[in-house]
A and B are shown apart, each in its own frame.
Chain A
Amino acid sequence: MKLKSNIAISDSGFIFDPVSGDSYTLNPIGKEILSLLKGNKSDKEISDFIFEKYDIEESIFEKNYYDFIGMLSHHNLLEEL
């Protein structure tokens, strides 16, 4: 899973896709995950980071994480594999 390199992320969770011109907002956890993706972290590294920091069951995060990745893909923000 890799974020397109040209996607800009601001500190406040605002992101901009210069190719489509579309912009998006993220909630704080969404922003953290996107920053980790931008840093080329693996799914496991991202999960470990979230479990360390947040009070959440593994199965719930897994569902939410893949739903989130699905939305990034839906908005064409990920590199095609």
Chain B
Amino acid sequence: MEKLKYERPIINKINAGVPDKFGMKVRTQIMPKIENHSVKELIKNYGSPVYVISEKIIRDTYKEAYQAFSTRYPKVQFAWSYKTNYLDAVCKIFHDEGSWAEVVSGFEYNKALSNGVSGSKIIFNGPDKSDDDLEQAVLNNSFIHIDHFDELYSLIKISNRLKKTAKVAIRVNMDAGIYPQWDRFGFNYENGEAWNALNRIMLSENLELVGLHTHIGTYIMTASAYGVAAAKLADLAVRVQKKFNHTIKYIDLGGGFASKNTLKGAYLPGKDTCPSFDDYAESMTNALINSEIEPDKLPTLFLETGRALIDDAGYIIGTVLANKRLANGRRSTIIDVGVNLLFTSFWYEHDVLPAQETSQQTEDTTIYGPLCMNIDVIRAAIQFPLLQKDDNFVIPRIGAYNMTQWMQFITLRPNIILLGVDGNVHVIREKETSETFKNAEKMPKHLDKK
């Protein structure tokens, strides 16, 4: 007689309480495949853990976002936010779809150039631009978004020395009705600092004011805040037109759109609550179209959306290392993905989905990463199926920031693979080896004794 499928015996205490008004989720979702690729095969071929990026999802998401804006506004240009994920293959997909590059350091600027982006299609943001960075950006006709007066004066000096006009915008911070208000970047709108900066630029011989920029925050759940921001920038554009008879060519409303991940402490899942691209587009474009800007002088709308364009395209897949009981009887599961590889687990409740069939039995579980460090917690409390050692799992929606903010801590960074639209799997960043780390180290002579 064929033996029955086994699962671990469990006992769960029934705790009386107020049920969620939407009821409990009744089925555990499993994810044995990503697109047509078996998770177990991917792990067998590329190791565990391994990051997986879907080219198809990147392209589909970009098209969805572009359509939301371009059907509402005549001139729209996306610029790929390098810091969100600056793997060359990922950047090239966005550039291939029509995105320019939005960079925030000399390192990212040179990455964009080496990805074949023309200097005149690079937006240079951020508070840290060295004189060399600025000089390069001026010479390449890039759009330089000035963050503070010190940078403005450096740029005046550099452009005068080079006798070349720098194309500039200012970053504006403002009260757009959201909390926390980001005021550490750029010039403030309400206290008149932004208007002062614009006047200073307009009076400079070698600076050409081409745009206005703001980035009101991150994971913004209220689409209407972008309407407030767009209206305030439009107001500055109108004042510049009136006073200097100068037309602002673009308004850059930055990024900060929420992805479908669930923030810690949120009552409902992010996929049910975060605004759609259409919601954001409606708010921004209405504000611009209804502003006092003359219709034939409407600026191009620039967008630097990062997270919402890439999060869904990224997965990390891995293996269960062990199950344990904590002192209070609570189950804990240790997996080979820690906060070193999943930085976003500090603020998201990431889904962790089994990659093989499981029953619908679950236990209240804490999921820990593999690091010998107490804060390495991927999920503090999750109703988790009864996975055994060596079972596999998928953590979806991790494409944003994890492959740039990752840490080389205790273990080395794993392979990153791309599921191409050609149906093949491509390694786009090789796993690190001990040599990767060792090669950068130098040993003082007096310590180099065998």
Q: Given the complex of chains A and B, what is the CA–CA distance between A69 and B8 in angstroms?
A: 12
Closest chain-A Cβ to B346's Cβ sits at a distance in Å of 30
CB pair B14 A53 closer than 8 Å: no
CB pair B3 A64 closer than 8 Å: no
Q: Which residues of B contact A53 (CB under 8 A)?
A: 3-4
Q: Which residues of A contact B10 (CB under 8 A)?
A: 26-27, 30, 68, 71
Q: Which residues in window 9-29 of A have CB below 8 A to B?
A: 15, 22-27, 29
CB pair B4 A75 closer than 8 Å: no
CB pair B9 A33 closer than 8 Å: yes
CB pair B14 A54 closer than 8 Å: no
For A30, A72, A75, the residue with the greatest tally of chain B CB atoms inside 10 Å of its CB is A30
Q: Given the complex of chains A and B, what is the CA–CA distance between A1 and B8 in angstroms?
A: 19
For B5, B8, B11, B14, the residue with the greatest tally of chain A CB atoms inside 10 Å of its CB is B11
Closest chain-B Cβ to A77's Cβ sits at a distance in Å of 8
Q: Which residues of A contact B3 (CB under 8 A)?
A: 53-55
Q: A44: CB under 8 A from chain B?
A: no
CB pair B4 A27 closer than 8 Å: no
Closest chain-A Cβ to B214's Cβ sits at a distance in Å of 53
Q: Given the complex of chains A and B, what is the CA–CA distance between A72 and B8 in angstroms?
A: 14
Q: A49: CB under 8 A from chain B?
A: no
Answer whether A24 and B6 are a contact pair too, CB < 8 Å, given A60-B388, A71-B329.
no
CB pair B13 A24 closer than 8 Å: yes
CB pair B5 A55 closer than 8 Å: yes
Answer whether A29 and B8 are a contact pair too, CB < 8 Å, given A24-B13, A55-B3.
yes
For B5, B10, B12, B359, the residue with the greatest tally of chain A CB atoms inside 10 Å of its CB is B10
Answer whether A55 and B325 are a contact pair too, CB < 8 Å, given A26-B9, A27-B10, A30-B10.
no
Q: Given the complex of chains A and B, what is the CA–CA distance between A29 and B12 in angstroms?
A: 13
B6, B325, B388: the one within 8 Å of A29 (CB): B6
B5, B9, B14, B388: the one within 8 Å of A27 (CB): B9
Q: Which residues of A contact B8 (CB under 8 A)?
A: 29, 64, 67-68
Number of residues from A at the complex interface, CB < 8 A: 28
Q: Given the complex of chains A and B, what is the CA–CA distance between A58 and B80 in angstroms?
A: 53
Q: Given the complex of chains A and B, what is the CA–CA distance between A56 and B5 in angstroms?
A: 8
Q: Which residues of B contact A30 (CB under 8 A)?
A: 9-11
Q: B323: CB under 8 A from chain A?
A: yes
Closest chain-A Cβ to B369's Cβ sits at a distance in Å of 21
Q: Given the complex of chains A and B, what is the CA–CA distance between A70 and B326 in angstroms?
A: 11
Q: B291: CB under 8 A from chain A?
A: no
B6, B325, B386: the one within 8 Å of A71 (CB): B325
Q: Which residues in window 1-40 of B have CB below 8 A to A?
A: 3-14
Q: B110: CB under 8 A from chain A?
A: no
Q: Which residues of A contact B6 (CB under 8 A)?
A: 29, 50, 54-56, 61
Q: Given the complex of chains A and B, what is the CA–CA distance between A29 and B359 in angstroms?
A: 12
Q: B361: CB under 8 A from chain A?
A: yes
A15, A22, A65: the one within 8 Å of B9 (CB): A65
Q: Given the complex of chains A and B, what is the CA–CA distance between A64 and B8 in angstroms?
A: 6
Q: Given the complex of chains A and B, what is the CA–CA distance between A75 and B313 in angstroms?
A: 43
CB pair A25 B11 closer than 8 Å: yes
CB pair B9 A23 closer than 8 Å: no
Closest chain-A Cβ to B19's Cβ sits at a distance in Å of 15
CB pair A27 B323 closer than 8 Å: no
CB pair B12 A24 closer than 8 Å: yes
Closest chain-B Cβ to A69's Cβ sits at a distance in Å of 9
Q: Which residues of A contact B11 (CB under 8 A)?
A: 15, 24-26, 30, 34, 68, 71-72, 75
CB pair B14 A25 closer than 8 Å: yes
For B5, B8, B325, the residue with the greatest tally of chain A CB atoms inside 10 Å of its CB is B8
Closest to B386 in A: A27
CB pair B14 A70 closer than 8 Å: no
Taking A24-B14, A26-B11, A56-B6 as known contacts, 12 extra A-B pairs with beta carbons closer than 8 A to each other, sorted by chain A number, are A15-B11, A24-B12, A25-B12, A26-B10, A27-B386, A29-B9, A32-B9, A54-B3, A64-B9, A65-B9, A68-B11, A75-B13
25 A-B pairs, CB-CB below 8 angstroms? A22-B13, A22-B14, A23-B14, A24-B11, A24-B12, A25-B11, A26-B10, A26-B11, A26-B12, A27-B7, A27-B9, A29-B7, A30-B10, A54-B4, A55-B3, A60-B388, A61-B6, A64-B8, A65-B9, A67-B8, A67-B323, A68-B8, A68-B11, A75-B11, A75-B329
